[in-house]
Amino acid sequence: MNIIFRFIILCLKVFIDFIGDLVGKFGLKLTPLTFEGICSSLSKEAKSEFLQTDYLRNNCLVFIENSTANNIIPLSGQYFLRVWLTQLMELHVRVKKYLKMDPTVSQVPIKRPVFILTLIRTGSTFLHHLMNQDENWKCPELWELEDCAPSPGDNAEEDKRRIAYCKFKWDVSSVLMGWNDIKKYHSLDPHNPEDLIFNIYSDFNFIVSNLIHEGMEGEFTKYFSNPSKKNSDLYDENLKLRLQMICKNANMDRRRLLTMHHVTPVNLESLIKAFPDAQFITIHRDPVGQIKSACELVRVMSRSCRRHFNNDRVGFGRRVLKGATEDGKKLVNWRKSNQFKTDEFKRFIDIQFKDLIKTPMKVVEDLYKDLDMTLTNSSKEKMKVYLDNYEKKTGKSKYNLKEYGLSEEKIQESMKFYTDFFQV
């Protein structure tokens, strides 16, 4: 995006937030993010579905109540969230209509799917992109995850429009996050394979949003971290249908699904119920490096929903460490349980981050054996080209833990149970 347009977008955000805060000083509140506001923005069909579906309505009410608490999110952020929630609900309706129009979607084969299931900032995106060089995998792209109905591949011209919109949306978001910063930490390109979080949002499952600000640390986190069994099962049943929709035109008779799912939103019992033959790759990284990197990413990505000059670094550090600790406990408990084990194939595959970075091709070759996949010479060459380009464009980032209210000792103590169990 042209630097002039980027400057104009930033100026507009600062101006809108200034007006919102100025009006607030006189006792008036401009709050576009309200339940009534969402309802008024929806189409008639989407509004009816929204009001009649308890879990969508309840999830939305909890999200709005906590995200707008204490006026932490400024006027521009509330507006963007309102647009986002509206689009999610319209997508939910499109998915439902498409499934009625083409019920064969539920028969699209997803055999032995592979989930890269890890803590954030452990190299999952790197591994995902590297393995995506092999065409025997179907790795859902960002635009597909965000707009899966109608099925990608049904209409080439319509797909071009959706891809263009996805690019525009994330270009604008990248400006608000910090154009160069987000490109450095996690570039958002429509054609990149991405995290399933971009898809599960369409069920109004907002647990990952608990990192945005302090108002979402308490009741918000408790509510979304503990869905009922009925809702957990529903989330993953819906996830499977949406992935089948994405894979409908992807020749799945000869390919396997490879996707990425960070631990926070995952209920492993319901996920395996939906995908009984799933395999899981978990990458383990030294928690100090992982937390440092995660703090920076969360700080950058949350910029679009906060005031431009407001930086709650200590809050980000507290929330990221707490989240990583809870996720680490989930990983350990899953491994200790006999519930998820199977003799038919290797359910869980562990990778050390340091090995992935030092000898990526050896890690991939070993990984393919555990996945019962053949790594062809052609795929090997494509992966090597990717690695050459990756090394050229990737530089080291500097982090300061003290700015986030953390220390190496505090992180190591908090995550000791995890590093001991997985021998990190």
On the question of pLDDT at 48 being above 80, the answer is: yes
pLDDT confidence of residue 362: 97
Question: What are the beta bridge partners of residue 50?
Answer: none
On the question of pLDDT at 286 being above 90, the answer is: yes
Number of domains in the chain: 1
- Residue 261's H or E segment, with its range, is strand 256-262
Q: Report if residue 284 sits inside a domain.
A: yes
For 219, the 3-state DSSP assignment is helix
- pLDDT tens figures, 327-356: 999 999 999 999 999 999 999 999 999 999
Residue among 192, 158, 318, 167 at smallest CA distance from 260? 192
- Rounded CA-CA distance 140/199 in Å is 10
Average pLDDT over residues 176-192: 90
pLDDT confidence of residue 404: 94
On the question of pLDDT at 392 being above 60, the answer is: no
Instruction: Quote the tokens at residue 336.
Output: 């200790």
- Rounded CA-CA distance 129/365 in Å is 15
pLDDT confidence of residue 252: 97
pLDDT confidence of residue 242: 98
pLDDT confidence of residue 306: 84
- Could you say which DSSP state residue 217 is in? S
Q: Report if residue 238 sits inside a domain.
A: yes
On the question of pLDDT at 56 being above 60, the answer is: yes
- pLDDT tens figures, 211-240: 888 888 889 999 999 999 999 999 999 999
On the question of pLDDT at 395 being above 80, the answer is: no
Structure confidence at residue 1 as a pLDDT band (50, 70, 90):
confident
Radius of gyration of the chain (CA): 21
On the question of pLDDT at 154 being above 80, the answer is: yes
CA neighbours closer than 13 Å in the CB half-sphere of residue 117:
25
Average pLDDT over residues 35-61: 96
Q: Report if residue 274 sits inside a domain.
A: yes
Average pLDDT over residues 290-305: 91
Neighbours of 187 (CB within 10 A): 12
Is the Cβ–Cβ distance between 199 and 322 less than 8 Å? no
Q: Report if residue 25 sits inside a domain.
A: no
Please report, for the domain that includes residue 356, its CATH number.
Answer: 3.40.50.300
Residue among 196, 267, 258, 263 at smallest CA distance from 231? 267
pLDDT confidence of residue 396: 56
Task: Print the domain residue range for 228.
Answer: 110-422
- Rounded CA-CA distance 419/77 in Å is 37
Q: Report if residue 57 sits inside a domain.
A: no
- Residue 125's H or E segment, with its range, is helix 124-131
Looking at the chain, the whole-number percentage of residues with pLDDT higher than 90 is 82
pTM (two decimals): 0.94
Q: Residues 261, 227, 87, 31: is their CA dihedral positive or negative? A: negative
- pLDDT tens figures, 356-386: 999 999 999 999 999 999 999 999 999 999 9
For 352, the 3-state DSSP assignment is strand
On the question of pLDDT at 312 being above 90, the answer is: no
Q: Report if residue 349 sits inside a domain.
A: yes
Average pLDDT over residues 263-290: 97
Instruction: Quote the tokens at residue 126.
Output: 């790197």
> Residue 299: what residue type?
R
- pLDDT tens figures, 248-272: 999 999 999 999 999 999 999 999 9
pLDDT confidence of residue 391: 67
Q: Report if residue 26 sits inside a domain.
A: no
Q: Report if residue 242 sits inside a domain.
A: yes
pLDDT confidence of residue 128: 98
